[in-house]
Structures are given as C-alpha cells and as structure tokens.
C-alpha cells in the first residue's frame, strides 16, 4: 500500500489533486458496473491505473450510476453535533481539534481487554480503501471512498466472551475541546451500538481516512464507525471506547427521540421516518432525487442477518 502524507489541517480542497484526475467517469462506471454482485470486479480494478486504485479503492455495493461525491462535499457537508448543528459548522469548529495522543479502550465482555494508543490499536490490522454508499436519515446520500480497518478484526483479537451479544461505542467526552457538548442538544457523550453479528460483518469498518488521506476532524477523526447498510447516524465519530455487552446499548439518537430513531436504523425505503418519507434520497451534488434501495444497496450481503425480523417494529 502506498503511504501518503497526511493532509495538513488547514489544507484547502484546491490544494489537493481533484478526484477527477484519479478516476475518469468512464473508468468509474466500468468499475462500479463490474462490482454489482461480483468479486470479479476486483481483478478488473487491479488492471486499472495504480493512481486511481490507490486513491479510491474498491467499490462495494455500488450501482452503475454511482460516482464518488466530491472531496469538498464530503468534508464540508457534515453532521457532528459536538462541533455545531449546521452542516458547515464541523469543518469550521473542529479545525483546531487535536486528535493525538488518542487512546482507544476495548472492554466489557472480552477475554483480552485493553487500552491502546491509536497507533498500536490500528497496527495489527490490514488497512483497506473501500468506496461505500452513505445514506443519511435526512434523505441525502453520498458515495465516499473511506479508508479503514475491519471492526471484526479488532473484536476477534479482543476475544469476545461467551454471552457477549452487542457492541457499544462511545465518542470522546471533553466539552473544553468539543464545544457542542456544553449544550444539552443530545445526551453526551454520543454513544452507538450494533449487534455482535453486525459488528463482525466484513462490511463494517472502523474508518481512519477518506480519499486516501487522513480523516479530517469534521468526518470523525481519528477513528469513526461506518456501517454502509445503516443510516449515517450509526457512524459514530471520534471513538474512544468499544465495549462488548450482553444487553442492547443505549444510542444517542434513540435516547433523544425514541419514536424517530430505533436501534437498528437499517436503511429501509418502506419504513418512513414519522416526519418524512425515506423512499427517495438526494445525492449531494445532484439535482434529481433517486429511489432509496433496501439496506442502501447492500441487501445481498446483509439481509440474512434480519431474516424473520419485523423491520417495521425493529426500525
Ligand atoms: N458522531 C458523533 N459523535 N456526533 C454526531 O453528531 N452525527 C452522525 C454521525 N456520527 C454524529 C456522529 C450523523 S447524524 C451522521 S449523518 C454522520 O455522522 C455524518 O457523517 P459525515 O459527516 O462524515 O457524513
């Protein structure tokens, strides 16, 4: 893997190579088309120019008309309430947020609990570049080239104890550094949860980068979760703790509005949010709305985990 220098915090988008130079539209469509249900896509990607491959990575679950959302949109249209509730607030207010040193704790029902410096936490895992669809409950979506490690790898190393059923994630709590935490907008610190099988699923990533570069603060540096078949709010940012448990964890949005946000939060065009439809979405950077896909286009990979469940009740 090519090691790229980190993006300085104050780097402007005009200073980096535009993503269009890495990946032409024709290449993109070819790659996305090949991946629909096919591992064979990987070999086609290997034949592509090295720059494109390394900058963006392998497309997962994409549709032929999906193309990556621009760096500018990915890094300036954000939700990160610890740094303000406006979409452009996090890019502004998280600018000076220091993410080193950073400690990640793995605890609860594991045989090998531990507190790790971020570098040691990441080191044993394979780093991968993967392009995923990203669908927010607010009915907008993006296509994002993330860089990260498989959460399942981390959990396997910690050796889940028999009886562990869920994983709880917690964001840093430090109101001096995260100004939004001085206001009771959500219950702080932000927490999220997954069932253990969802957490072990090979699509579930702990993300450290985007567009082949270090994760910008506004996207959840230095470590955030991405679960591509769930609404974006499951992608908890700036994680300091991963805890295994036998009881379903409380999650920030479910605590704040239980009728609107459930534990599962699987993308589902047939179950509306009580105040708006989830049938369609607006792809950031595009004008027309497109239909939302069941499990955000990842049904083939994940639907079996929910077989027999009433997805209207388990929203
Ligand atoms: N994590 C924390 N700690 N705080 C937040 O406010 N917002 C969530 C999620 N993770 C949030 C968070 C929501 S609502 C969304 S849609 C995604 O982050 C947005 O991720 P993005 O800004 O990288 O697109």
Render pLDDT for 130-152 as a digit per residue (tens, 0 to 9).
Answer: 999 999 999 999 999 999 999 99
**What share of the chain has pLDDT > 70, as a percent?**
83
Give a yes or no: residue 53 inside a domain: no
* 231 CA from centroid of ligand 1 (Å): 10
Residues 302, 308 contacting (CB under 8 angstroms): no
Nearest alpha carbon, ligand 1 atom 9? 233
List, as own/partner pairs, every contact residues 180-187 make where C-beta atoms lie below 8 angstroms and the sequence separation is at least 24, other chains included: 180/80, 180/81, 180/82, 180/83, 180/84, 180/85, 180/93, 181/82, 185/81, 185/85, 186/81, 186/252, 186/253, 186/255, 186/256, 187/252, 187/255, 187/256
CA distance 155 to 206: 11
User: Which residue in 177, 161, 193 sits closest to 98, CA to CA?
Assistant: 177
Atom of ligand 1 minimally distant from the CA of 138:
16
| CATH code where residue 270 lies | 3.90.420.10
Give a yes or no: residue 27 inside a domain: no
Render pLDDT for 168-209 as a digit per residue (tens, 0 to 9).
Answer: 999 999 999 999 999 999 999 999 999 999 999 999 999 999
Give a yes or no: residue 252 inside a domain: yes
* Structural domains in the chain (count): 1
Q: Does ligand 1 lie within 6 Å of residue 69's CB atom?
A: no
Q: Does ligand 1 lie within 6 Å of residue 136's CB atom?
A: yes
Q: Does ligand 1 lie within 6 Å of residue 217's CB atom?
A: no
Give a yes or no: residue 44 inside a domain: no
Render pLDDT for 206-255 as a digit per residue (tens, 0 to 9).
Answer: 999 999 999 999 999 999 999 999 999 999 999 999 999 999 999 999 99
* 196 CA from centroid of ligand 1 (Å): 21
Give a yes or no: residue 281 inside a domain: yes
Q: Does ligand 1 lie within 6 Å of residue 237's CB atom?
A: yes
Give a yes or no: residue 291 inside a domain: yes
Q: Which residues pair with 291 in a beta bridge?
A: 280
Domain that includes residue 260, residue range = 68-306
Render pLDDT for 114-132 as a digit per residue (tens, 0 to 9).
Answer: 999 999 999 999 999 999 9
């Amino acid at each position: 893997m090519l090691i790229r220098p980190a993006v300085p915090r104050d780097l402007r988008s005009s200073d980096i190579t535009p993503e269009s130079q890495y990946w032409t539209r024709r290449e993109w469509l070819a790659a996305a088309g090949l991946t629909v249900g096919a591992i064979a896509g990987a070999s086609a990607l290997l034949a592509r120019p090295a720059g494109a491959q390394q900058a963006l990575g392998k497309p997962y679950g994409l549709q032929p008309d999906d193309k990556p959302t621009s760096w500018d949109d990915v890094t300036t249209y954000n939700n990160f309430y610890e740094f303000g509730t406006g979409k452009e607030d996090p890019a502004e207010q998280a600018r000076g947020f220091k993410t080193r040193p950073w400690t990640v704790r793995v605890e609860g029902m594991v045989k090998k609990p531990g507190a790790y410096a971020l570098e040691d936490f990441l080191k044993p895992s394979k780093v991968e570049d993967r392009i995923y669809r990203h669908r927010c409950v607010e009915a907008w979506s993006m296509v994002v080239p993330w860089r990260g490690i498989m959460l399942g790898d981390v959990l396997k190393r910690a050796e889940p104890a028999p009886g562990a059923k869920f994983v709880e994630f917690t964001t840093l709590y430090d109101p001096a550094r995260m100004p939004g935490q001085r206001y009771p907008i959500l219950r702080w610190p932000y927490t999220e949860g997954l069932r253990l099988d969802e957490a072990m699923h090979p699509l579930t990533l702990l993300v450290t980068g985007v567009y082949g570069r270090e994760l910008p603060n506004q996207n959840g540096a230095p470590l955030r979760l991405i679960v591509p078949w769930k609404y974006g709010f499951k992608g908890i940012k700036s994680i300091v703790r991963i805890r295994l448990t036998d009881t379903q964890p409380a999650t920030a949005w479910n605590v704040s509005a239980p009728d609107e946000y459930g534990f599962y939060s699987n993308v589902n065009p047939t179950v509306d949010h009580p105040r708006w439809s989830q049938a369609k979405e607006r792809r950031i950077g595009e004008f027309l709305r497109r239909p939302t896909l069941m499990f955000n286009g990842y049904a083939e990979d994940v639907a079996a985990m929910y077989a027999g469940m009433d997805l209207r009740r388990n929203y």
